[in-house]
Structure 1
Amino acid sequence: MAEVVLNKVNKKFGKVHVTKDVDLHINKGDFVVFVGPSGCGKSTLLRLIAGLEDITEGVLSIDGEVCNDLPPPERGIGMVFQSYALYPHMTVYENMAFGLQLAKTDANAVKDKVMGVAKALQLEPLLERKPKELSGGQRQRVAIGRAIVREPKVFLFDEPLSNLDASLRVQMRMEIARLHERLGATMIYVTHDQVEAMTLATKIVVLDAGRVEQVGSPLELYNHPANTFVAGFIGSPKMNFLTADIVETGEITTRVKIHRGQEIVVSADTRNAKVGDPAVIGIRPEHIQFGEKDAIKEGGVELSVVEQLGNECLMYFSTPQSNEPVVIRVEGQTTIKAGDKRCIEFPADYCHLFDKDGKAYPRSVVGETKLSLVVGGD
């Protein structure tokens, strides 16, 4: 295993600036996931680490050695591609052994390593088959095995599960997680699937337009997003956002007035803000609660869509404070249906507050404070 350090790394394709001043320290044994929307630069960043693209500016070091000018075979990396990249005319055994044979490894050592990895990945019955005789999940296991036998310092995964169906993705996620636990190796994994990021990573790197928006553990990013981009990207369904103005600043709590709605209190430190500053309230679907007040008298919200998923229920309503429907998630099943009116509550400790530029104000959890909210008012 090895640490990977990127210092002010930039990549330009002509006038197109793809990766912008990336500073990143990946510790030995970390499982780091690069995540972000299509075109954010996550695969390009992985290719820069692998040596498949040249770094325009900045420094990359692996295990303390500057690698900017080192060719890929000398960087000590093993890469698993989205497309498997297996040799179709070779058997599983030959595919896994090929890299070692190119490196002039002793034949007995090659056999021992391949057989050991094949046993760990449950590939022993498939060693004499060719790729066309394998399922998608089996091919991906072969691609991973081919990387493991070379005993690289760093494993690189470029969206390895995107070609698999849903059930196979779950199975392969578990296998990759077990593999990391068993090997203790440094792994860098690229995906656009936040479920993969949340379940696999010890550290997530959220990218947008070539820049690193936030780095942290999965729960750190979920509970303390640095800005509205991270808050909206991490979590499914994503966080709800409502526009508001700051009415009263404070160190522990802040009072805000929702546009065309009422005033509520959120747990946020806004000592650096001013009264009247525009803000955005964020709250996750599972944290919105139904109130006990009479929705007809109090002017509650009308649910427009109710999705019964069996283990949970998603309910949607429209509001003038949000460009998209607000989502409520409740566990289990419900008798609530589209067209019903309900009063809702925003627990203050679960509200996130962002400034007009989308940057999060520090949160200050003070207790289970609940305030009724009528978002559809005048």
Structure 2
Amino acid sequence: MTQVFNFSAGPAMISKPVLEKAQSELLNWLGQGTSVMEVSHRGKLFMEMITECDKDLRQLFNVPDNYKILFLQGGARGQFAAVPMNLIGAKGKALYLNSGHWSGMAAKEARNFCELDEISIVDKDENGVISVNRTDFSDIAEQYDYVHYCTNETITGVQIKEIPKVGNAVLVADMSSDIMSKPVDISKFGLIYAGAQKNLGPAGITLVIVREDLIGHACQATPSIWNYETQANSDSMINTPPTFAWYLCALVFKQMLAEGGLEIYAKRNEKKAALLYSYLEQSQFYRNYIAVANRSVMNVTFSTDNDELNAKFVAEAAEAGLQALKGHKVLGGMRASIYNAMPIEGVEALIAFMKKFEAENA
């Protein structure tokens, strides 16, 4: 069988050692003779596992002591609603920075729960190249209860690598597609959230890291499942959590620590992205439409500028074991998602295929 590399934007690859560990424990977790999916989520062993998971994540991501870590359900879309329900306060208004599809969707959902201003922070030049035009909002941010942005737009492949300046305002980040791909100064954020299915584990569980002083101010109509205070007081378990997804995230954190932590992963990710972008830059056949300063390290988008050739590329790549390279329906073209679990061999195999396809179709 041809070796398969999965370039899906999510659910995405999970590293082989993690999957092998889960496989070995699937029928007999910790000598219990049952799967982790079958034990009580309030039992001693599961509670010990989630306590260790919290500890490992704090060490790995350098989460300060005055932040709560929650593992919730509903994906990032759930947090599109939960954030305004929990954080809108005396000022009565939020600021949303729009850099693409997902930040725009977050603003659209938040309008159901609060008043907000929305500012586009990207430009497209005459050649179709997209760039981020502004990251300093310190002159206006403090009139809002919080400022929200998406660190990495998976559809276009735009990444905001500079943390926006917001003065003393609360900064909220949707980090779903680049969380834990590199070290981050958590203290600059009031709240970070991320769907797990890119870098953390499988779909079905969502990470929320929230500063403690922001907890306990939810509006009265907030459902208990979206109330950060209720969830924090219940160990993220006011209902039965997705236990297997939580367990897999815990295995991912263990694996990342064993491999040297986020500094190591950041170097790997930069190397993978640089390799692929370097090839795209010298090719006359493929185009990437993101300004160099804003090119995503996680999601590399490209196109032949011909829909028929794009479709042929995706089909032939899949036959060669390079899966899920079709771009999002909003944008088209191709997209290679090269999250933490993608080995550099996958990127090398993709480039080799791209060269072959270019030679045969240029």
The TM-score with structure 1 as length reference comes to 0.26
Higher relative contact order (CA 8 A, sep 6+): 2
Specify which structure has the higher proportion of helix.
Answer: 2
Specify which structure has the higher proportion of strand.
Answer: 1
